[in-house]
Structure 1
Amino acid sequence: GDIQPCVALGKGLADAGYEVRVVTMANFEPMVRQHGLEFFLMEGDAEALVKDMLRQMDGKGLQFVRMYRGILRTFGAISRSYHKAFSAEALRDSDAMLSQLPGGFYSYDLAEALQIPYIALSVIPQEPTRAWPVPVLPTRASLGQWYNRQTFRFTNLVGWQPFRAPINRFRAELGLKPASFLWGNTLRIGRERVPVIQGFSEQVVPTPPEWGEHIHTTGYWILDEPDWQPSPELRAFLDAGDPPVAIGFGSMPVPDPDSTTRLILEALESSGQRAILLSGWAQLGRQALPETVFPLDYAPYPWLFPRMAAIIHHGGSGTTGLALRSGVPSLVIPFTADQPFWGERTHALGVGPAALPFSTLTADDLAAALRTMLSDVTMQQRAAQLRDAMAAEQGIQTAVAIIRDYLDRWDSPGKGNARG
């Protein structure tokens, strides 16, 4: 969910004449190379890390303390991998650094040492605002504008402290002074008005008045896969009846795939609805399925979602964007982190029912949400209107133009062909 939008943006930059190198884990190497980008390995197994993170949360990923501990253990486990990757001599020829690591971890430090441009990328709204609490706060209740803004400061403070020592060791190796004891590089990045490019839609997250002109919301970065073709079996299932619903949890594993699949099948039977069951990292649909449910390992969401009657997903930023662009109602079943935020936005926009947390999900609640999405004409009309409003957005092209303009204006000894 974090990597695919960056690969899409990287492909856009490559098409504009830049050399693009993506630093990520081996799980994503095929995707990176398939789209003609250079791959640089960062050690670690993304799927195993996510499974471990959710296991640490023990089914309570929407409780802040449990979520915080799980995320910190996960990032702590790969801190050495970040250190090793960003210390590599092979990255020293970079001419610019584009990164969506929180607080610019490691990437901002390397860019500072190399005296090259740094641009922050984000697929969730991480910039402080009075308009809403920080999106990674599972409790979405707001206690007012002052509270909302303080939640951003609080999460930055508690998020930085476990990484302060390793990142300052990295900075020392680069010959740099330590980052701020309390805030890391975050306040400095803000003072320098480092460009922040956000890969989501203003139709979904309106720009608050306090964001400066260096913060850009471009629209979603959608990966084009023109060579993909559906199997004859998938086409036959789609043609055999009314549009089905799509159900999948993307990169979210579940403790018991068979039990979760049975819950979904019960809700589908109760609502009388056909479905496409997306396996994902949850490994849904491994047992025998009725003829009204089609198991699917993969299909590009921009192709699949508009053909559905409704979409049920985990609430990752990219999946949410593609669901909202599809023109049909959608339901978010959040597990942790920013997913409740996207569930809240989906419901507030009137294009889906209130989110149903996975930890308390029941077949009856899921069936009721399905019936609502399939019968609520106003919700269906709003979903179509939102699709039409987002249709003109050119997220990748807009982001590439912003990056090109910034790099063209950059004045430093490290300026070059913007390879990064």
Structure 2
Amino acid sequence: MSTTIDTTIDTLRFATAGSVDDGKSTLVGRLLHDSKSVLADQLEAVEHASRNRGQETPDLALLTDGLRAEREQGITIDVAYRYFATPRRRFILADTPGHVQYTRNMVTGASTADLAIVLVDARKGVVEQTRRHAAVAALLRVPHVVLAVNKMDLVGYEQAPFERIVEDFAAHAAESGLPGFTPIPVSALVGDNVVARSTAMGWYEGPALLEFLEEVPVGAEAPDAPVRFPVQYVIRDGEVRYYAGQLASGVLHVGDRVTVHPSGETSQIAGIDVLGTARESARAPQSISLRLADQRDVSRGDMITAGVDVPALTREVRAAVCHLAERPLRVGDRVLVRHTTRTVKAVVEDLGGAPALSVNDLGHITLRTADPLLLDPYAASRRTGAFIVIDPADGATLTAGMVEP
């Protein structure tokens, strides 16, 4: 019997975050286990490891805590990515660390996420790291946030602790600029409201977590989103040149008038190719190649736009940042800035009044670049409003930036 794979279902990227011992890995393990996304040999390995640790039942956290050091310490120290699917949707999951010293890992895991799950222990309530995670989710403009109040079984499945946590989190979310969130009471250890709705919390009338993950809208780009096409490769076929890359936003049609930046030269789209097939149009985030009607000097790192909604080229970059490297970033440092496919030299002019940024610091930066960049505010585009700062000496990533208006 043959199996037909439905290629029309979409993909949700989501990240988990929470304080230490709030149960993130157990929640993820429960999601994988109860949605029947665990292979038999994986489950057998988890059962064996659990027995070796003196546990009578499988420790589902081990499904994501795959590193030896994590198992020995009982914590998550890196971003663990998992892929699974249900009949309704595919999922890419990033289980991020809870320690404050691993804030940079949450930034990595949530930077491309459509949704973030912030876990809170029902007994402890909102703690400092919860507030930090709310701030990071707001900073990264994650479109959807779920407040998962975990370990409800340890507070007798009572409604009052849940409501207090929701009220407390709402106050901090408003302070952080988080536009909204969806609260769900769960018990990852037992399975309440993770995949199936719980019968122990009759007062809760909302969906189980997996139900919400299957139904939340993703990829809803505004129909009038501005066209941004960073050129990644120039392909020469005799006298004809094709410009290849991923369409970051907007829709392009054959015949559209376009502008190449930073040169300012204009032309017209003569052809669009998607996966070897000629098309009349393309939509973000498709990977495409373009052919222009005129010979133009276009190189990797150039940005092709259409329409009039184009920000001015600038050499001054102001942004919110999270510093990712162990080495500090200081005022006066000479760095590289990588924005989409373009890399330029720059100097750190200001760090929001601070002399330096240390690892996991959240702050603000002003950079002066040697060559102009076409930047959108991060609030308008998570793709063309983001950049990274690189050490020119060894190519190490130092800082992740989100362009401010």
The answer, yes or no, to whether TM exceeds 0.5 is no
The structure with more strand, counted as a fraction of residues: 2
Greater relative CO, 1 or 2 (CA 8 Å, sep 6+): 1
The structure with more helix, counted as a fraction of residues: 1
